[in-house]
Structure 1
């Protein structure tokens, strides 16, 4: 996850209007309990959109915000999770109990490079379930103090329950998953199961 380049969606749209980059939004409202979102998809945090859609499958709500092209390579079109206010996304949040946000992070300096950093207000329980579900795949699952995602303004905590989950997936992990459809399926099935164990339907 990067720092803010734009403070809100209005600033973002103004920059897009100046042809700095081109964005798309994709949303399916299928469930009032779970929504999987990737607010930094496409060229911002590559691979997060595809992972989010795979977790959602055919029955859960999802929201994807993607930058699909930009005119200058040094542009970083990024709105942090606490400031993200794209209208379609806010509408989904207001009608969904819990949110799972998928983000991309830089690789750590030490090994292993493939890491899953768990955040959100439900991070402690989510970490426990996710470690169990991902054990067979050998990915390191942990809570990173830099990405706790515990702010009430964080997009993952803005569902109606105010209890959400967040994943920061390192670049090496995302690269490994995107090149292996079978691994993508196993990974996202495990995340989906852990999410539902963390926030079960009453």
Structure 2
């Protein structure tokens, strides 16, 4: 299903902040930025997951659809997502992780995309070791365009997680699963941040 709006400026002409959508961010930007570009009612639970991963350690951003009817109109595909405050935060982000939602409500799995293939592979290994199923990313979820929001940090590459609805729901409802999932990702990002692999902006 094609997007209604081509970019944020077009969306903002027809939708009202505070009524149709809202933007939430952490208090400060950081070299690690966790993003939910389709949060709220657009792709449920992605905002919560992004904030849990960030915690008090990293920066986070969520664009949330808050209206009930027609919320799908608020979806701007990742390679067109250009909300100004997020672009500003991305200028100092060395590690970017975006959280997305797949519709599958039966199978619990993750697809990993983005241009940071090395970090993406490390996350895949860590998640599999923590008993999460990681499927090969389909082309439309590969996140390899340079303009994809996950690749617009100062290094020009990032990671995109596509999480099935079934797994997102379990992460929210099952405390053990949530802790295992969040800790796995957070631990890997912290290790990566401290390593020499991260380019300085």
> Structure 1, unaligned stretches of length 5 or more?
none
Q: How many residues in Structure 1 have an aligned counterpart in Structure 2?
A: 195
Distance in 2 (CA, whole Å) between partners of 1:81 and 1:120 is 11
Q: Is the 8 A contact 1:16 1:22 kept in 2?
A: yes
Distance in 2 (CA, whole Å) between partners of 1:29 and 1:201 is 25
Q: C-alpha deviations, 1:144-186, integer Å up to 9, x for none?
A: 1321111110000000011211100011111111111332122
| 1:79 aligned counterpart, secondary structure | coil
TM-score, length basis structure 2: 0.86
Q: C-alpha deviations, 1:90-136, integer Å up to 9, x for none?
A: 1101121121000001228xxx711110011113x234322432235
Show the counterpart of 1:98: 95
Cα deviation, residue 44, structure 1: 0.4
Cα deviation, residue 14, structure 1: 2.0
RMSD: 2.4
> Structure 2, unaligned stretches of length 5 or more?
197-201
Distance in 1 (CA, whole Å) between partners of 2:163 and 2:136 is 12
Show the counterpart of 1:134: 127
Cα deviation, residue 40, structure 1: 0.3
Runs ≥4 residues deviating over 6 A: none
1:29-108 correspondence runs (5 A): 30=28, 32-70=30-68, 72-73=69-70, 75-107=72-104
Distance in 2 (CA, whole Å) between partners of 1:133 and 1:75 is 33
Show the counterpart of 1:8: 7
Distance in 2 (CA, whole Å) between partners of 1:195 and 1:169 is 18
TM-score, length basis structure 1: 0.85
Show the counterpart of 2:199: none
Cα deviation, residue 13, structure 1: 1.4
1:108-123 correspondence runs (5 A): 113-123=107-117
